[in-house]
Amino acid sequence: MQACPVDTITLDINTGAKVIQESTCVGCKVCTIACPFGTVNYSSSTGKVIKCDLCGGDPACAKACPTAAITYVDADQAGFEKMRAWAGKTDAGSTATA
């Protein structure tokens, strides 16, 4: 969120997801470099970045997956802090976070 020069990335307080406001995104891609998790991607068709917003806490991909390979678990129960700590040890973790 700190990497965005136009403050287009906000935090959804209900789901904890970082949400990109497409209307204000300028497509600079700084957040794609800064994100330690690699979850922000550039869309050449829109010229903006995209990221999963968790569908408001009820991800459609998890419901639609016929093999249950995609599941949604609360980050507090899924070891989010371990993922954050690991990301902090990588090169990506040494830059500003998206």
Residue 37 banded pLDDT, cuts 50, 70, 90: confident
Give the residue-averaged pLDDT of 43-71.
91
HSE-CB at 10 with a 13 A cutoff on CA atoms is: 9
Residue whose entry in the numeric block shows the structure tokens 């994100």: 35
Q: Is the pLDDT of residue 94 over 70?
A: no
Question: Which of 82, 91, 86 is closest to 34 using CA atoms?
Answer: 91
Q: Is the pLDDT of residue 50 over 80?
A: yes
Domains of the chain: 9-90 (3.30.70)
Alpha-carbon torsion angle 14, 92, 70, 82, nearest 10: -70
pLDDT score for 77: 67
Spatial neighbors of 53 by CB under 8 A, at least 6 apart, are: 12, 15, 17, 19, 20
On whether the pTM is more than 0.85, the answer is: no
Give the residue-averaged pLDDT of 77-88.
74
pLDDT score for 44: 95
Q: Is the pLDDT of residue 91 over 90?
A: no
92 or 43, which is more confident? 43
Spatial neighbors of 19 by CB under 8 A, at least 6 apart, are: 9, 10, 11, 12, 51, 53
